[in-house]
Amino acid sequence: MRPTSRGLLLALAFGLALTMAATTVATATGGHRGAAPAAGWSSILAGARGQTVRWWMYGGDDRVNAYVDTVVKPAAARLGVKLVRVPISNTADAVQRVLAERKAGKTSGGAVDLIWINGENFAAGKQAGLWLKHWATSLPNARYVNFRDPQVARDLQVPIDGQEVPWSAAAFVFAYDSAQIKQPPRSFAALLAWAKAHPGRFTYPAPPDFTGSAFVRQAVQRLGSRKKAMAYLKELKPHQYRGGTSFPQSEAELDQLFGNDQVDIAMSYDPSFVASGARKGQFPRTARPFLIGGGALVNDSYVTIPADAAHRAGALVVANLLLDPRLQAIKADPAGLGIPTVLDLGRLTRKQRRLFAAARRSPYLLQSFGKKLAELRAADVPAIEQQWEREVLR
């Protein structure tokens, strides 16, 4: 999932934030520290009119950018809010900006109104007290979200505590060409047997690439321990593409190998990547998604509002729009993004549920993610990647 980042920026940010004294963040309506306005939704709508909301978000996905520009922006404009997409390559950049403003003593008028975020970036900001509090479940469209679902309530095992709302669902899925493979391997044991029978036809990106890291993490969880997973991956290695002597460096490189019929299996944390690849002609039309291990590794990405946001009312309005069933259905449509909704369909009306029918008909999208696996703690990921490098890569 794209908002997750790597690197030491946030570790440095923690040290910076923890040295600062707590500051009082007053709301536009006279609220308390870091809290959302206590006024009713009609007052928030009125206050949002004429505001310009700057949404800092990963800018490298053209499909997401187009969705925001052609669907979300017009919806916000109809409510009198101008939405400006601020593209960044690393979500940590947005967190660093908010931290810098905090260090400078800024408690309002901040440059960041909304952030597409999850994982360690959210955790870092939460620990530093950067996010607006007590707002997520108060949005009118929050009634469509099951905040008791652990997948929603915990962001890479960090409780969200009303400081962010889910926006996009992610699931780790695999792809195969149904014209060449009748039955893909659906367990890790079957994958190893298949790789031995088809040497050179499987590989995965080398961690710390996000996709390769997710494959390794799923192996850790499905096989029960890091020790068992590393032993498994060492046994798998000589049967991989080029005898395991080299790994793809990115998901894009693996997609190219799959599309060129150099390997038989692709993978992604984007559950719509098969639909996207087939639509662009990168994958064969006979490509199909499948799961390994009986269920997908899953997590959600969210939006959060900095406590010093200059246009808080407008940010609340945009966050609410992102949970609108109509906008979520457009995002779920395989003709567009094909990203599964974060809404609980059981909470929708029958008419609203019909909006999602197109996503359920596509052969390029899974109708179920099986027995879903919750993500590991963000803090555990670097150690797993380092162990893979020591024991498998070398």
Q: How far apart are CA 80 and CA 380, in angstroms?
A: 43
pLDDT exceeds cutoff 50 at 183: yes
What is the per-residue pLDDT for 394? 87
- Asked if residues 254 and 248 have their Cβ atoms less than 8 Å apart, the reply is yes
CATH topology of domain 173-295+372-393: D-Maltodextrin-Binding Protein; domain 2 (3.40.190)
Predicted confidence at residue 36, as pLDDT, reads 52
User: Angle of helix 9-18 relative to helix 91-103, nearest 10 degrees?
Assistant: 20
| Cβ-count burial 375-394 (b if 16+ within 10 Å, e if not) | bbebeebeebbebbeeebee
- Type of residue found at 54: R
Two structure tokens written together for 79:
């409510």
Inter-residue contact 286 to 258 (CB < 8 Å): no
Q: Which CATH number fits domain 9-168+300-361: 3.40.190.10, 1.10.3210.10, 3.40.50.300, 3.40.50.1240?
A: 3.40.190.10
What is the pLDDT, as a whole number, of residue 252?
Answer: 92
Q: What is the pLDDT of residue 230?
A: 98
**Between 156 and 296, the higher pLDDT residue:** 296
Distance from chain centroid for Cα 9? 20
CATH 3.40.190.10 segments of the chain: 9-168+300-361, 173-295+372-393
The answer, yes or no, to whether residue 357 has pLDDT greater than 90, is no
The three-state secondary structure class of 300 is strand
Residues 167 and 139: beta-carbon distance below 8 Å: no
What does the mean pLDDT of the chain come to? 89
* 35 bridge partner residues: 133
* pLDDT at residue 39 is higher than 60: no
pLDDT value of position 197: 97
- Judged against a pLDDT cut of 90, whether residue 337 lies above it is answered with no
Q: So what's the pLDDT on residue 198? A: 97
Question: What is the spatial distance between Cα 295 and Cα 298, in angstroms, rounded to a whole number?
Answer: 9
Residue 302's H or E segment, with its range, is strand 297-304
For 318, the enclosing helix (H) or strand (E) is helix 312-321
Q: Rounded mean pLDDT of 61-70? A: 93
pLDDT for position 14:
37
% the chain with pLDDT above 90: 72
Q: Minimal CA–CA distance to 359: which of 327, 323, 331? A: 331
